[in-house]
Structure 1
Amino acid sequence: MSTPALSFDSTTFRRTLGMFATGITVITARAKDGSLIGLTVSSFNSVSLNPPLIVWSLANTSTVRAVLEDCAYYAVNVLADDQEALSNLFASKAADRFAGVDWEPGLGGAPVLAGCCAVFEVRNTLRYPGGDHLIFVGEVERCDRADRAPLLFFNGQYRRLP
């Protein structure tokens, strides 16, 4: 069975996806050697309330893929509207993304970033191939929230709630 030709290209698909407003998260974990990893991710969502499951995806080409596949726990730090600089830092190629960043160790040593509007501490449960990404489904073991507005991303730009 052949795959039908698409009526759009990858740029059109990406720009169309950008019309779905998302929050911005930083996924953090501790590698087995003790080093810290973190990256900005907007592909985050809830899956189930019982059990409490979340989902996010990571490009197959990510340099931290092996660490995230192998770690027991990771944290999903939902950025507040004044944390655009953190989003940019963890999306960058900076050698030490944690330099000068205020955080404390969570479950499994995964960094929990200070000042976020929410955090989910997650047991690394399931992974599935998904095209050019790896899909992570994790079980939330701890979560907390602050009364802070979220940082949003829409149509290729950071946004804030009015």
Structure 2
Amino acid sequence: MTAATSASARPADASPEDSGFLDAMAALAGGVCVVTALTAEGHPAGFTSTAVMSLSRDPQLLAIGVGRTGRTLPALLGGGRRFALNILHAGGEHMARRFADRPADRFVGLEWSAEEATGVPLLVAHCSYTVLCRVVQDIPAGDHHLLVSAVERIVTGSGGPTALVHHDRRYHMLGAA
């Protein structure tokens, strides 16, 4: 693992009761992905996530956690219920930060392409892999939704066998020279 890049602090609205939980979860390393979808109006939407898990090999399923108040949730649950899970390569910290911030349009000036059949935004140039998915089950869970999703297609990205992970509130690169 290379040196950590920049750190982010515990959320300002964290209560003392939340501190132990937030600190424990910060100690759990997670791969960094950008989830992208189309809104009902046909606009690209997306967010950074480490709440992703491989769920089943047969059939191929994965699950993502999405905040109940997140702006991308309606896009994920509307229309064709399709999205792309863009698994960021080691050099993808700028993408992680871009989609974690709250600008009005995260796609302005960004290199991306639309999936041919669905129009879902793909960030292949910034990823090791992009996994195209269809939501098959929505499970409300606390302040989030757990979206169980069928894998429809996998696209190899440009990042090779590297990964960006988030641990202890910082980004780390794995497999990078």
Q: Hey, what's the Cα distance between the residues in 2 that align with 1:65 and 1:123?
A: 13
The answer for the alignment partner of 1:70 in structure 2 is: 78
1:120 deviation in Å? 0.5
- Give the secondary-structure state (helix, strand or coil) at the position aligned to 1:148: coil
1:141 deviation in Å? 0.5
Whether 1:84 and 2:99 are equivalent positions in the alignment is: no
Q: Hey, what's the Cα distance between the residues in 1 that align with 2:98 and 2:73?
A: 18
Number of paired residues? Answer: 155
Q: Aligned match of 2:54 in 28, 46, 51? A: 46
Taking structure 2 as the reference length, what is the TM-score of the superposition? 0.82
Task: Please say if residues 53 and 62 of structure 2, whose CA atoms lie closer than 8 Å, have aligned partners that are also in contact.
Answer: yes
Task: Please say if residues 71 and 124 of structure 1, whose CA atoms lie closer than 8 Å, have aligned partners that are also in contact.
Answer: no
Q: Deviations over 1:14-54 (max 9, x none)?
A: 11011111110000001221111011011001000111100
The answer for the alignment partner of 2:155 in structure 1 is: 144
Aligned residue type for 1:29: A
Q: Hey, what's the Cα distance between the residues in 2 that align with 1:115 and 1:27?
A: 13
Task: Please say if residues 79 and 118 of structure 1, whose CA atoms lie closer than 8 Å, have aligned partners that are also in contact.
Answer: yes
Task: Please say if residues 30 and 111 of structure 1, whose CA atoms lie closer than 8 Å, have aligned partners that are also in contact.
Answer: yes
The answer for the alignment partner of 1:130 in structure 2 is: 141
Residues 1-162 of structure 1 correspond to what in structure 2 (within 5 A)? Answer: 9-72=17-80, 73-106=82-115, 107-113=117-123, 114-146=125-157, 147-161=160-174
1:137 deviation in Å? 0.6
Aligned residue type for 2:51: S
Q: Any unmatched runs of 5+ in structure 2? A: 1-15
The answer for the alignment partner of 1:3 in structure 2 is: none
The alignment's C-alpha RMSD in Å is 1.5
Q: Any unmatched runs of 5+ in structure 1? A: 1-7
Task: Please say if residues 131 and 155 of structure 2, whose CA atoms lie closer than 8 Å, have aligned partners that are also in contact.
Answer: yes
Aligned residue type for 1:118: Y
Q: Hey, what's the Cα distance between the residues in 1 that align with 2:129 and 2:72?
A: 23
Percent identity, aligned pairs only, is 28
Distance 1:40 1:71, change over 3 A: farther
Task: Please say if residues 129 and 154 of structure 2, whose CA atoms lie closer than 8 Å, have aligned partners that are also in contact.
Answer: yes
1:64 deviation in Å? 2.6
1:85 deviation in Å? 0.7
